Structure 1
Amino acid sequence: MNSIQRIVHRPFFIKLFNWEYWSFTSVYLCIYPVWLLLCLRARSFFFFAASNPTIKNGGFLGESKKDIITIIPPQYHPPSVFFSIPANGDIVLRELQRAGLQFPLIGKPNIGGRGRGVKVLRDEKDVKAYVHNAYLDFHIQEFVPWKNEAGIFYVRYPNQPNGFISGIVGKEFLSVTGDGKHSILHLLQQDKRALMYLGSMKRIHGNGLNFVLPEGEKMIVSPFGNHARGSKFLDVSNLADEKLTAVIDKICKQIPGFYYGRLDIRFESWEALKEGRNFSIIEVNGAGAEPTHIYDPRHSIFFAWKEIVRHWIILNRISRMNHKKGHRYLCLREGIAMFREAKDWSRKLAAMTE
């Protein structure tokens, strides 16, 4: 690697030349005027609350996963047990055993986002540590074994019998392939994407990064389908054919009051998913969901802006239609309180992610 390559390989320049790593504010700042125009059209800064009437704040911020999971048919999501803080590790373990959950498991905050506070729990020691460090109510769910994960954005106008898929993101988990000579840490340091998440990988794996993988052996170092946790997002919206649309539409119409949002799904194969089998919904995101297919490295920031605005317009239309049916927007006091609570949750989530 020559001097120019070494410079470009530094995190600062990787971030500079790849907009997918920019901060939320940097990406959205230029299109905020469009959001303000949509607020004026709805005559409310918080019109989004009416988009999904059965979800708190329409799923924009502060929605409870416990409340959402109760409106999803149980056959579509992994078994989960919810806990309030303060919690006792021994009691949590007993409840998990009573529910029949077996390791490995996944711990998640009841209110979260962008993968913060999500951890793999491989044994009782991990569970007790997670409970000890929980600053928010949380739930522990069965680890879904399917190897593939995707985010499918679904939209249905309240006056239409059927909905449609507006975008699909496929996810490639952050991984390395051994060469029999170098440590996992060394291999990560040679990969531009891995470099952006090296700090997180050190916290997760510790001294395990010094292990040398046999030649040709592949290891997933971050099993989370979150962009903020290292997954590569790929735009596979072309897979939204009639068969897949029919399956997703059938599922979403069984979720009361759900018109706009993204389903994060783990599944065996696209063929099986299109037949409605061997899959599990691990997350339902409402009005605050991003059309995450925009983060495909092949897409420009201009494509991202176009897709974000397209989805904002859809969100606005659905919200106004539901508002005419009697579903209320948030008032100014409620909206301000929502953002204040979100700031506090963000601080606690950051502490759980340490």
Structure 2
Amino acid sequence: MNSIQRILHRPFFIKLFNWEYWSFASVYFCIYPVWVLLCLRARSFFFFAASNPTIKNGGFLCESKKDIIPIIPAQHHPPTVFFSIPTNGSIVVRELQRAGLQYPLIGKPNIGARGRGIKVLRNEQEVLAYCHTAYLDFHIQEFVSWKCEAGIFYVRNPNQASGAITGIVYKEFLSVTGDGKHSMLQLLQKDKRALMYLCSLKKIHGDRLNQVLPAGEKQIVSPFGNHARGSRFTDASHLADEALTRVIDDICKQIPGFYFGRLDIRFESWEALKAGRNFSIIEVNGAGSEPTHIYDPRHSLFFAWKEIIRHWVLLYRISRINHKKGHRYLSFREGIAMFREANIFAKKLNAMTE
């Protein structure tokens, strides 16, 4: 690696030349006027609350997974147990045993965002540790073993019988492949994507990163399908054929009052998913969902802006239709309170992630 390559390999320059790593505000700043225009046309800065009437705030911010999970068809969601803080770790362990959940498990804040506060729990000790550091109500669910994960964006006009898939992102978990010579840490330091999340990986794995993997052995170092946790996002929207659309549409119509949002799904294979088998919905996101296929490194920032605006317009149209049907927008006071509450949650989530 020459001197120029070494310079470009530094996190600052990786971030500078790859917009997918930019902050939320940096990406959205130039298109905020479009959002303001939609608000003015709706005569409400918080019109999105009507998009998904059965979800708090339409699923834009501060929505509770404890309220959302019960409306997802039970056969398509992993077993889950909810807990409120403060809680006793021993009681949590007993409740998990009573519910028949098997390790490994996943701990998630009840109100979360961008993968913060999510942890893999491999044994009783890790469950106890998670309870000790939980600053928000949380839930624990069984880890879904299917190796594939995708985010499928779904939209349905409330006046129409069927909806459509408007984007698919395939998620590749951050991993490292051994060469029999270098440690996982050394190999991760050579990878530009891994380098952006190295501090987090060191906190998660500690000395385990000094392990030398046999040549060809692949180790997933971040098993979370979140861009903020290192996953590579690939645009797979071309896979939205008639079969897949029919499966997703059938599921979403079973979720009361759900018209706009993204399903995060783990599945065995695309063939199985299109046949409606061997998959599990691990999360349903509402009005605050991003069309995350925009984060495919092949896409330009201009493509991202186009897709974001396209989905904003769809959100506006759905919200307007539902509003005419009697579903209310948030008042200005309620909207400001929502953002203040979200700011409090964000600080606690950051504390749980550190």
Write the distance in 2 (CA, Å) between the matches of 1:96 and 1:280: 20
Instruction: Note the alpha carbon deviations across 1:10-39, whole angstroms, 9 max, x for none.
Output: 000000000000000000000000000000
| Paired amino acid for 2:137 | D
Structure-2 residue corresponding to 1:43: 43
* Large movers: runs of 4+ above 6 Å: none
Where 2:126 maps in the other structure, the secondary structure is helix
Structure-1 residue corresponding to 2:313: 313
Write the distance in 2 (CA, Å) between the matches of 1:151 and 1:71: 19
Write the distance in 1 (CA, Å) between the matches of 2:93 and 2:124: 7
Structure-1 residue corresponding to 2:274: 274
Instruction: Note the alpha carbon deviations across 1:206-226, whole angstroms, 9 max, x for none.
Output: 000000001110000000000
Structure-1 residue corresponding to 2:13: 13
Structure-2 residue corresponding to 1:214: 214
Write the distance in 2 (CA, Å) between the matches of 1:83 and 1:126: 16
Structure-2 residue corresponding to 1:135: 135
Where 1:213 maps in the other structure, the secondary structure is coil
Q: Which structure 2 residues correspond to residues 78-227 of structure 1 after superposition, within 5 A?
A: 78-227=78-227
Structure-2 residue corresponding to 1:22: 22
Where 1:14 maps in the other structure, the secondary structure is helix
Where 1:116 maps in the other structure, the secondary structure is coil
| Paired amino acid for 2:93 | L
Q: Which structure 2 residues correspond to residues 70-85 of structure 1 after superposition, within 5 A?
A: 70-85=70-85
What RMSD, in angstroms, separates the aligned Cα atoms of the two structures? 0.3
| Paired amino acid for 1:352 | M
Structure-2 residue corresponding to 1:233: 233
Instruction: Note the alpha carbon deviations across 1:324-354, whole angstroms, 9 max, x for none.
Output: 0000000011000000000000000000001
Write the distance in 2 (CA, Å) between the matches of 1:301 and 1:15: 13
Where 1:339 maps in the other structure, the secondary structure is helix
Instruction: Note the alpha carbon deviations across 1:248-277, whole angstroms, 9 max, x for none.
Output: 000000000000000000000000000000
Write the distance in 2 (CA, Å) between the matches of 1:217 and 1:259: 43
| Paired amino acid for 1:293 | H
| Paired amino acid for 1:130 | Y
| Paired amino acid for 1:220 | I
| Paired amino acid for 1:4 | I
TM-score by length of 2: 1.00
Aligned length: 354
> Structure 1: where are the runs of 5+ without partners?
none
Structure-2 residue corresponding to 1:352: 352
| Paired amino acid for 2:142 | E
Superposed displacement of residue 279, structure 1: 0.2
Where 2:71 maps in the other structure, the secondary structure is coil
Instruction: Note the alpha carbon deviations across 1:165-184, whole angstroms, 9 max, x for none.
Output: 00000000000100001000
| Paired amino acid for 1:35 | W
> Structure 2: where are the runs of 5+ without partners?
none
Superposed displacement of residue 73, structure 1: 1.1
Say whether residues 1:246 and 2:225 are aligned partners.
no
| Paired amino acid for 1:89 | G
Write the distance in 1 (CA, Å) between the matches of 2:290 and 2:102: 32
Superposed displacement of residue 312, structure 1: 0.1
